[in-house]
Amino acid sequence: MGKLSLTPEVLALIAERFKALAEPARLQILTCLRRREMTVTELVEETGLGQANVSKHLQLLYGLGFVARRKEGLYVYYSLADKSVFQLCDIMCDRLDTEARNRRKLLAS
């Protein structure tokens, strides 16, 4: 399997992808798409974000391969293209748990 060495160049590519996930709005969009395929308008309603905004976020996520597009008549359906996103979120959630536990431990002392 791949196992690239972590040269500065590779780290830059990785950072770029982390950055795409470092935005609550985009995570919110991905969370919506986790449930089902959705149009831009549906995502706008679901997230409460502006249309231009959602569209821009989707372009970014699409460019990095996080979501897929399917055009059907007047609508464009977006869907998750990469399940690893939530694998990453799960790891982060574990971190949050650990942080909370450590904080509690500190208060006890």
Partner DNA sequence: CGACTAAACTACCGCACGGAAATATGGTTG
Partner DNA sequence: CAACCATATTTCCGTGCGGTAGTTTAGTCG
| Interface ranges with its own copies (CB under 8 A) | 1-4, 6, 8, 10-19, 21-24, 27-28, 31, 64-65, 82, 84, 87-89, 91-99, 102
Residue from 30, 57, 61, 80 that binds DNA (CB under 7 A)?
Answer: 57
Tracing tokens 């309603």 back to the chain, one arrives at 45
The Cα–Cα gap between 87 and 83 comes to 7
* C-alpha–C-alpha distance, residues 51 and 45, integer Å: 9
One-letter identity of residue 106:
L
- Measured N-to-C along each axis, helices 40-47 and 24-35 cross at an angle, to the nearest 10 degrees, of 120
Q: Residue 75 or 87: which CB sits closer to its own copies?
A: 87
User: Closest CB to its own copies among 8 and 73?
Assistant: 8
Q: Which residues bind DNA (CB under 7 A)?
A: 19, 23, 25, 39-41, 49-53, 55-60, 69, 71, 73-76
